Amino acid sequence: MRQYTDLEQHLLNDFQHGLSLSPTPYADLAEQLGVDETTVLENLNRLQEEGVISRVGPVFRPNRLGVSTLAAIAVPGDELETVAEIVSSFAEVNHNYEREHGFNLWFVVIAADRDALQAVLTEIEARTGYRVMDLPMLQDYFIDLGFKLQWT
C-alpha cells in the first residue's frame, strides 16, 4: 500500500456519503477541500484507476430493487473448485467466496423476484448435486455511513 497524500485521504474518507446533488458535485467537494475541481477529478480518476475507489455514486439498499439472498453449500474439499465454478457460471450469482467452515462456499444470488430467485437456487442444487442453504436477509441493522479509514 502506498502513502496517500492529505488530499487523497480526505477524498477517500470524508465523502463516502452525502455527495451533493447539485449539477456540479465535484466542484462542491473541491470547494470544501479548498482546491479546484480539476484537481479533485484528477485525484478521483487516479484512485479509481488504481482500484482503491470502486466508484462514486449511490449504494442501493438490498432487496428494494430486486430480491437477493446469501446462500451456502457444504462441499467436500477436493470438489470445491468444481462446484464453485458451476455456481459462478450463473449470471445471478455474485460474491462467490470460500470460507473456512463446514459450509465452505458462500455466495449471493440476486433476481427480480422471489420465484425467480428460488428457481436459480433449485437449478444450482440440480447442477451441483448439493443442497443449498438459503439465508435471506430479514432485517438490516447496519447504518451505512461508509468505512472510517485509519491512517497508520
Partner 1 sequence: MSVHDPEFERRLVEATSQGLPLVSRPYAAIAKQIGSTEARVIEGIQRIMQRDDIKRFGVVVRHRKLGYRANGMVVWDIPDERVAEVGVCIGQYNFVTLCYQRPRRLPDWPYNLFSMVHGRDRDGVIDQVKSIVEQCGLQQFAHEILFSGRCFKQRGAIYAPSQQALKQDEMIING
Site for partner 1 in 76-135 (CB under 8 A): 84-85, 87-88, 91-101, 103-108, 110, 112, 133, 135
Which among 96, 86, 73, 75 has a CA at the least distance from the CA of 123? 86
Question: Residues 51, 78, 115, 126: which binds partner 1 (CB under 8 A)?
Answer: 51
DSSP conformational letter for 79: G
Question: Residues 7, 33, 35, 37: which binds partner 1 (CB under 8 A)?
Answer: 37
Question: Residues 7, 52, 118, 130: which binds partner 1 (CB under 8 A)?
Answer: 52
Interface with partner 1 includes 70 (CB under 8 A)?
yes
DSSP assignments along 102-127, one per residue = SS-EEEEEEESSHHHHHHHHHHHHHH
The Cα–Cα gap between 131 and 73 comes to: 6
The letter for the amino acid at 150 is: Q
Residues 3-22: x/- map of binding to partner 1 (CB under 8 A)?
--------xx--xxxxx-x-
Q: Which is nearer to partner 1, 1 or 126 (CB)?
A: 1
Sole residue written with cell 440440480: 126
